[in-house]
Structure 1
Amino acid sequence: MSPSSSASEPAALVTGGTRGIGRVIVARLAGAGYRVLTCGRREPADLPGGVAFRRADVREPEEATGLVRAAAAQFGRLDLVVNNAGGGPPAPAATASPGLVTAIVRLNLLAPFFVAQAANAVMQEQPDGGLIVNIGSVASLRPAPGTAAYAAAKGGLEVLTRALALEWAPRVRVNAVTAGLVRTDENAAHYGDEATLAAIARTIPLGRMATPEDVADAVLLLASPLAGYVTGTSLLVDGGGQRPRFVEPFE
């Protein structure tokens, strides 16, 4: 795909878009008319039609910068960057190894910072600027046992979102989507069997766990002209949070 082939169409970069939530974000953006490049450490067997792939480890500053520059060169512009790559295994805070803690923080906080820095350098030079969306987690608000490093990193990502929005305005907007409990093929077993999943759903005011499509739609909302005056904020997509236990006797 050359920059001139469809230069009027917006262009997006999505990190970690080969599976799970990221893959759905990629598909939603492509369906909305975006030219999309995504990345991962391993090339996937398939991707939605028309989506480009580049091998990259965004935890490495040089690779993050190279990825952003490659997207801008391929498309001739870069309108949207979605920092989706993230995650980490549960680990008790008392015994988590320094290596594991460092790896979780690098992926969930430092990598988005590196990608955002490179994206800002491109977007500041564009007449229409651009938008960076960080995919956060409700763990930053309500950490669960075993998630200390992950929750701390995602909490840092929320603060980073506000800080970058302040520094890079008015040309570049920076927002976050703070996702609640999301059911994907990859994490269904982590939450438990169908009975456990149903019990979890009953604790959520909207009566279900989020889907990857819910998160992707929030990204599209922030990328739409309707959100043109929105920056430095986190859009909470958690179905209303958790029902307080004290209401149960009245139901």
Structure 2
Amino acid sequence: MPPFPSTSRRVLVSGASRGLGRALARAFAANGDRVAVHFGSRRAEAEETLASLEGSGHLLTGGDLTTPEGAKAVADAAAEGLGGIDVLVNNAAVNTPHPLDGTAYEDWAAAWQQHVCVNLLATANLSHLAAHRMIAQGTGGRIVNVGSRGAFRGEPDHPAYGATKAAVHALGQSLAVHLAPHGIAVASVAPGFFATERVAHRLSGAEGEAIVAQSPFGRVAQPEEIAEGVLWLASPAAEWASGTVLDLNGASYLRT
């Protein structure tokens, strides 16, 4: 099998309109790769992401990942626009609070449905679609999933988030074993708290102090730090890390 490409790779990043997704797209573009910037409903922000990328040959691909048909349309558009897919980063996710004791049953059921569709099924479907293209290309590939520290320590106010991220980790390990004969490495990152527009309001006051105190570094991560871990796992040098779940939490949660 020819070696996995090391330059100008074709990269699909899901959920790349802002936050970590934007940092991921920028990291791959700065690395010399061509990036398909996926967005669900935030087209204007996705266009800002696209405009901020170094290099050329990048593109937008919008679509609803909560259905198999939507995921296929996104993967097809990315592959057509880039001429193939060498790297898939499964970043799209939802994380809305739904504590059991304060959530009506109908809202609880709806929250679980949404989290499973976006966090888990979209990851599984995009992985299938991208991996089949990588196999057909015959040059290997990389799939990196964005999981969470919450998969290990629990998420009492966001239980569906913690559960689906644990499932994403398990999915990645299953695919790592299955896809290795094709030269495709699969790994996940498990970030702790990191600063984005979506959670900026939580970093002020007593709650912010408590969040910052979780890490002995006395701060939270920046999205670019998480993106660097993903970029390495997607690199040709990281093949032997296939199957790993890389903790990126600033020593805020240590597991054995």
Change (3 A) 1:75 1:105: same
Q: Is the 8 A contact 2:115 2:160 kept in 1?
A: yes
- Across the aligned residues of Structure 1 and Structure 2, the Cα RMSD in angstroms comes to 1.7
In structure 2, the residue matched to 1:197 is 208
Indicate the larger mover: 50-59 or 132-141.
50-59
In structure 2, the residue matched to 1:98 is 109
In structure 1, the residue matched to 2:44 is 44
Indicate the larger mover: 31-40 or 234-243.
234-243
Indicate the larger mover: 69-78 or 143-152.
69-78
TM-score, normalised with respect to structure 2: 0.86
Residue correspondence of structure 1 range 33-182 to structure 2 within 5 A: 33-42=32-41, 43-45=43-45, 46-47=48-49, 48-49=52-53, 50=56, 51-94=58-101, 95=103, 96-171=107-182, 172-182=184-194
Distance 1:101 1:196 in 2: 25
Deviation string for 1:208-245 (max 9, x for gaps)?
211101110001111223212221111110001249xx
Structure 2 runs not aligned, ≥5 long = 1-6
> What amino acid is aligned across from residue 57 of structure 1 in structure 2?
D
Distance 1:164 1:82 in 2: 14
Q: Is the 8 A contact 2:59 2:81 kept in 1?
A: no
Deviation string for 1:104-144 (max 9, x for gaps)?
11111111001001011101112321111000011101113
How many pairs align? 235
Deviation string for 1:156-195 (max 9, x for gaps)?
1111111111112222211101111111122011x24155
Indicate the larger mover: 195-204 or 172-181.
195-204
Residue correspondence of structure 1 range 185-224 to structure 2 within 5 A: 185-189=197-201, 191-193=202-204, 196-224=207-235
Distance 1:242 1:99 in 2: 30
> What amino acid is aligned across from residue 78 of structure 2 in structure 1?
A
Structure 1 runs not aligned, ≥5 long = 1-7, 244-251
Which SS does the other structure have where 1:176 is aligned? Answer: strand
Identity of aligned residues (%): 34
Q: Is the 8 A contact 1:131 1:223 kept in 2?
A: yes
Distance 1:148 1:195 in 2: 23
Distance 1:154 1:203 in 2: 20
Change (3 A) 1:194 1:26: farther
> What amino acid is aligned across from residue 245 of structure 2 in structure 1?
S
Which SS does the other structure have where 1:149 is aligned? Answer: helix
Q: Is the 8 A contact 1:25 1:216 kept in 2?
A: yes
Question: Which segments of structure 1 move beyond 4 Å, counting only runs of 4 or more?
Answer: none
> What amino acid is aligned across from residue 185 of structure 2 in structure 1?
R
Which SS does the other structure have where 2:100 is aligned? Answer: coil
Distance 1:32 1:168 in 2: 25
Tell me which protein shows more helix as a share of its residues: 2
Distance 1:140 1:207 in 2: 22
Distance 1:80 1:44 in 2: 24
Distance 1:157 1:129 in 2: 21
Distance 2:114 2:194 in 1: 22
Distance 2:59 2:81 in 1: 10
